[in-house]
Chains A and B, each alone.
Chain A
Amino acid sequence: MPKYLLRFGALGYLSLLLLVPVGFVFYRAFEHGLGPAWDAVSSQQAVHALELTLLMAAIAVPANTIFGVILALALVRSRFPGRGLVNAIVDLPLALSPVVVGLALFLLYGRGGWLGGLADHGIKILFAVPGMVLATMFVSLPFVVREVVPVLREIGTEQEQAAETLGASPFQTFWRITLPAIRWAVAYGVVLTTARAIGEFGAVSVVSGKIQGRTETLPLYVQAQFEQFDIQGAYAASVILALIAVATVVGLRVIHPREEES
């Protein structure tokens, strides 16, 4: 009896909190058929927002993947004072308010900030794509590192040392030994990074200035449409983002068993 109570309690909680609300947005978006939903997401403003969102991800994800692997290597394979603090700093984007991230960038690159002078030289960071990319990179930084660190720790260095003894260069050792061992962890991290990069709202909201048709990403577009009482448009754009989220979850499911195996 308690078994069923627990099962239905847990499933009920999940349904009321997650499934029914998300399902309801799909229903609302397509309530009046495919036509209005399609019209809402094929407007010039919506298409631009989607393109900009994908651009953010296209820059932030490769950067955080490459540097994430390097960060993981540095954290696992070397000892240096203050590693505990570096660990906490790498995790900070998971725990820090996105608004604080946005504000920090705003103060650094804004008028009177340390790097505020860049704007006078024609390098526009705030209210432009570079600032939004920096915000996205900040919030999506930890995912690849966090997936790769435990795997690196587990595989140890014996094989790498063997390769070195046999005359392999550090680059060859990484490419032939280390990378194949961590590839599924990297893949898992990449999927999580992509989801976060596409969905980021708070940090991008602060640094973008939310200029319609210029610096508006899809999550910002959702809020803008909602506030302009274009609920249909907000729901339709949400459905696109929700579909990306579902694809993410499926991707994680596909990768996870392989990660466990290797």
Chain B
Amino acid sequence: MASNAAVLERPTGAVSGRAGGALARGVAAGYLTIVVLLPLAALIWSSRADGADAFWHQATRPEAVSALKLSLGVSAVCALINAVAGTAIAWVLVRDRFAGKSAVDAVIDLPFALPTIVAGLTLLALYGPGSPFGVDVAFTRVGLLLALLFVTLPFVVRAVQPVLLELDTEMEEAAASLGAGSLAIFRRIVFPNLLPAILSGVALAFARAVGEFGAVVLISGNIPFKTEVSSVYIFGQLQSGNGSGAAAVSVVLLAISLGVLLLIGAFRRWRTKHDYA
């Protein structure tokens, strides 16, 4: 799955086709520069254009800080729920047997495939004004959380599933034969084995939730100091002509995303080293 980010191990074998290798590196670097690095460099440059004081002033405006706090808070809650629900769903998909399981397995990828604006609209249709259940969470933080849970659903499931599939059941059987209850078996044997996968899934879900825009823009109502998250704040600042305010908060989000990814990468490298030691 695409969620298997930043795997860092030794490069396999020697460099094949030396000239080809150099060419590939050059083309890859050029493409990354044009598509990703140049825009991001321009963003960082613009945020600093009026000096460090102006940057600080823009990044610490009450509305900006409130939006950032909300983004981080709701994303943390969303990541935690994903840790539990995602692991449970992965467990059911790997260890349980029931009719229609492969269809359920396929459905997990739907949030990756469904445009985020459609995700937001579908949630609003069911849990907004005019809900057939009589549940209306539109323009509340609960609605916001719901939208984030929708778009981040696959991350933990798809991270945990392959590990659970590989996990030998022998240890669990041994523990059971020695009288361990199913909760003790999970806590002592299964959970420690799944933890790295859960953590990397949770980290990606968190990063995705912090930056989410399409799914939340309709359902959150974007009320400043209440349901306005950072991405919506940035969009609003840009629309009202405050480009440097938008850039300052964007740089903060960029730093958070990059930080999470580098952390996941470092964690994976640390683990591979320890596995082979």
Q: Spell out A's residues near B (CB within 8 Å).
A: 2-3, 6-7, 9-11, 13-14, 17-22, 24-25, 28, 67, 70-71, 73-80, 83-101, 103-108, 113-115, 134, 137-138, 141-143, 146-147, 149-150, 152-153, 156-158, 160-161, 164, 170, 173-174, 189, 192, 195-196, 198-202, 205-206, 218-220, 222-223, 226, 234-235, 238, 241-242, 244-246, 248-250, 252-253
Query: Would you call the interface of chain B mostly helix, strand, loop, or mixed?
Result: helix
Known: A10-B88, A25-B118, A170-B16. 12 other contacts (CB 8 A): A10-B91, A10-B93, A13-B85, A17-B146, A76-B12, A97-B257, A107-B247, A142-B2, A157-B14, A161-B14, A195-B113, A245-B114
Given contacts A86-B32, A95-B208, A173-B16, contact A113 B214 (CB under 8 A): no
Residues of A within 8 A of B276 (CB): none
Query: Is B36 within 8 A of A80, CB to CB?
Result: no
Q: Is there an interface contact between B125 and A235, defined as CB atoms closer than 8 Å? A: yes
CB proximity to A under 8 Å, residues B150-204: 150, 153, 182, 204
What residue of chain B has the Cβ atom nearest to residue A97's Cβ? B211
Known: A104-B43, A235-B125. A92 touches B15 (CB 8 A): no
Contacts A91-B261, A201-B214 hold; do A157 and B42 have CB atoms under 8 A apart? no
Bitwise interface map of B from 244 to 261 toward A, beta carbon under 8 Å scored 1, else 0: 001100100110011011
Q: Determine if B144 is an interface residue (Cβ-Cβ < 8 Å).
A: no
On chain A, the residues within 8 Å of B213 by CB distance are: 97-99, 201-202, 205
> How far is A174 from B126 in the complex, measured between Cα atoms in Å?
50
Q: Assess the B121–A25 pair: CB atoms within 8 A.
A: yes
Which residues does chain B contribute within 8 Å of A158, judged by CB atoms?
A: 13
Contact between A241 and B118, CB atoms less than 8 A apart? yes
In the complex, residue of chain A having the shortest beta-carbon distance to the beta carbon of B14: A157
Given A70-B27, A161-B16: A95 and B218 interface contact (C-beta under 8 Å): no
In the bound complex, residues from chain A placing their C-beta under 8 Å from that of B37 are 89
